[in-house]
Structure 1
Amino acid sequence: MIRVGVIGTGMIGQDHIRRMTTVLSGVRVTAVTDVDARVAAEVGGRIGAAVHATGAELIADPQVDAVVVCSWGPTHEEYVLASITAGKPVFCEKPLATTQEACLRIVEAEVAHGNRLVQVGYMRRYDFAYRQLKHALDSGQIGAPLLMHCAHRNASVPGHFQKEMSITDSAVHEIDMVRWMFGEEIAAVRVLVPRRNRHGGDLQDPLLLILEMAGGVLVDVEISVNIRYGYDIRGEIVGEDGTVALGVQNPIEVRREGRAGLPVPADWRERFLQAYDVEFQEWIHALAGGGQPLGPSSWDGYAAAVASDAGVEALRSGGRVPVVLAEQPKLYVAEVPA
């Protein structure tokens, strides 16, 4: 039984606690903490977990075998580094850290430790549809890949949402996904700016992100964060001999009042509910018996941060921005294709 401590008991933290408490096997949440002590106490009392005043105390708790970080992004570096120092596996919701320099410090700390302890929460790698897409690609059914078309559409976003967040908060999932899908790094980024959506106010929305993969595949990502009708994630790979695309996201068809239609997910929680379950169950299984996490690594978190920064620079400059990574440590050499 893996004993887990959760840092951050907000919306995503409570959702992960729910799945570890009621859905998954081989895991028990033994400790929680949050900057809002009242919320932490309520959550901890509900599940019978110890409540700690700080993340540092939780990480040091001998009743905690592994740590889940769901706190505010700027705190991620501190808690991930502390977990590495303590020798405890740590699952960190994205971003790994808020700057590429901080991500690189985590990579260096993990390399110095000597083995992998960190997994980053890029859940698309665990989605059934994306896994089927990758299987079809890897099997050679459509020949060598040439292009990939993606769409990342949100019904709306909060008022504090800024234009850069379309890349750093939304499209970063596609950035990680294509590295995994094609088993190679992103070489350069461009951003095209179309006519502005009137529903977005002063926000520049939508955007068209162009990713140049190291092997020559071009990926376009439509990012629309005020599309109104729902949460819609799309992907199609064009190969030399055919195409393969994500299937319909909802298995039912509704017919009423002379019309037929497919329900659209309301948000990311509904669309990727099962992916989160699989992600955590596979993490728990990997840790059982002292194993290492096998999912998205510190290097993946770092590479996504560098590509996201390049995207933000391309948005501001209007030009093509190369993605320049540090030398990849041997610890992570096999990570991109995993």
Structure 2
Amino acid sequence: MTTPIRLAFLGVTHPHAAAWADAARADPRTTITAVHDADPDAGRTFAARYDATAVASMTRALREVDAVVVDGRNDEAVPYALAAIDAGLPVFVEKTGARTAAELAEVGARAQEAGLVSQMGYFARYSDSVERTARTLADGTLGALYLARFHSAIPHQAWRSMAHWFADGTNVVTPFMEAGCHMVDVIRHLLGEPSDIRATRVRRPGTSSPGEDALAATMRIGETVVTIDFTAHEADPWNTGWGGELFGDAATLRFHVTPARTALGTGTHVPDVISPVAPDDADAIAACMAAENVELMRRGMTAFIDSVHGTAPSPVDVADGARTLAVIEAVLAACDLPGTTPAVHPTSASAVAR
């Protein structure tokens, strides 16, 4: 049997760090050997959970390991990733991976120049429903695709339970970048590169958000109009409402990321639905989502280890992740452009009277 790949975790305070570490521990081809975090207590606690060694020095953490997982704060990710690359090590980088697209592009370029594997932690793309959507697009079932709509969100309760993360403007640039990046990655994965981006956003007074509280953007991808909307204050729990709708002239496809539900309509009143659970069974939905989230992380970590072993390319490398941030930055820039308010033109005597 091949000797397990020795992983070092640089940064462990990201909300997804434990899930990725669980996925690594579940894979017999890996072992977590070293942990470093700027917060020594967080590093020690994390290391103890995974029978690893907590080390005070980043340089020491990179000794005698074979690959690195960067899973701390967004403002820590770039120096951690660059240190791993400079040490000649493949690197897995948690999203967003940086606070700007330019910073992340530098990491991606350095990895490519060094011939090193890199991968972003975009796990939504591994959902069964996203994979079904990709196959449906590829086989032409939808016909000519005219319109596609996508939605993602942060639960409103996250501003209480995870305020230390989401409300920290030195860490999170904006909520759309922090959480909506997953859906932007899915859009690019399914449809390609957008152009002609236009957007608007609202930031309400009194919220703890470091950026927008809600946002919507339109763009063109080829001959398709694509929209994405986002709210940082959704009542639904994490991921329940995330998904998309693709409208072709031969069929319409609707999908939810998790539970991984798809509905394909081909001209009748009743679509063909594939769902792992009944849509009205709350307990089954919660259990299914928990299992699917574990599976999505497992698929992502498996892909990284496959890439390190050279048996498959990285499905989404850091350079690709930088392009996702570039799209998000373009959306945010478009939000700052002046909008148009329609003029009021009375069309009847009654309108004038009012």
Look up the match of 1:107: 108
Look up the match of 2:306: 285
Take 2:338 and 2:293, find their aligned partners in 1: how far apart are those partners?
A: 33
Alignment of 1:32-111 (within 5 A): 32-59=35-62, 61-62=63-64, 64-111=65-112
Alignment of 1:1-338 (within 5 A): 1-10=4-13, 11-21=15-25, 23-59=26-62, 61-62=63-64, 64-113=65-114, 115-156=115-156, 157-158=158-159, 160=167, 165-182=174-191, 184-193=192-201, 204-213=212-221, 215-231=222-238, 232-247=241-256, 249-250=258-259, 251-253=276-278, 260=280, 262=282, 272-288=293-309, 290=310, 293-318=313-338
Report the aligned-residue RMSD.
3.0
Gaps of at least 5 residues in structure 1 are 255-259, 321-338
Gaps of at least 5 residues in structure 2 are 260-275, 341-354
Q: For structure 1, which segment, 12-21 or 218-227, has the greater mean C-alpha deviation from structure 2 after superposition?
A: 12-21
Q: CA deviation at 1:244?
A: 1.4
SS at match of 1:154: strand
User: What are the superposed Cα offsets for residues 157-205 of structure 1, whole Å, 9 maximum, x if unpaired?
Assistant: 42527796232112222221111102x21213221347x8899688753
- Quick check: which has more Rg, 1 or 2? 2
Decide whether the 8 Å contact of 2:130 with 2:257 is kept in 1: no
Take 2:313 and 2:257, find their aligned partners in 1: how far apart are those partners?
A: 31
Q: CA deviation at 1:149?
A: 1.1
Give the aligned residue type for 2:307: A
Q: CA deviation at 1:130?
A: 0.6
Number of equivalences: 306
Q: CA deviation at 1:278?
A: 0.8
Cα distance change on mapping 1:54 and 1:192 into 2, 3 Å: same
Q: CA deviation at 1:252?
A: 3.4
Q: CA deviation at 1:262?
A: 4.6
Cα distance change on mapping 1:98 and 1:205 into 2, 3 Å: closer
Give the aligned residue type for 2:93: C
Among the aligned pairs, what percent are the same residue? 21
Cα distance change on mapping 1:199 and 1:209 into 2, 3 Å: farther
Q: CA deviation at 1:153?
A: 2.8
Q: CA deviation at 1:293?
A: 4.7
User: What are the superposed Cα offsets for residues 61-113 of structure 1, whole Å, 9 maximum, x if unpaired?
Assistant: 11x10000001111211121222222211000012321122123223322322
TM-score, scaled to structure 1: 0.80
Take 1:102 and 1:207, find their aligned partners in 2: how far apart are those partners?
A: 24
Take 1:181 and 1:109, find their aligned partners in 2: how far apart are those partners?
A: 27
Take 1:309 and 1:40, find their aligned partners in 2: how far apart are those partners?
A: 32
Take 1:244 and 1:205, find their aligned partners in 2: how far apart are those partners?
A: 28
Cα distance change on mapping 1:19 and 1:139 into 2, 3 Å: same
Q: CA deviation at 1:116?
A: 4.0
User: What are the superposed Cα offsets for residues 99-150 of structure 1, whole Å, 9 maximum, x if unpaired?
Assistant: 122123223322322x242111111221111111111111111113221111
Cα distance change on mapping 1:236 and 1:199 into 2, 3 Å: farther
Give the aligned residue type for 1:2: I
Cα distance change on mapping 1:69 and 1:193 into 2, 3 Å: closer
Q: CA deviation at 1:35?
A: 1.5
TM-score, scaled to structure 2: 0.77
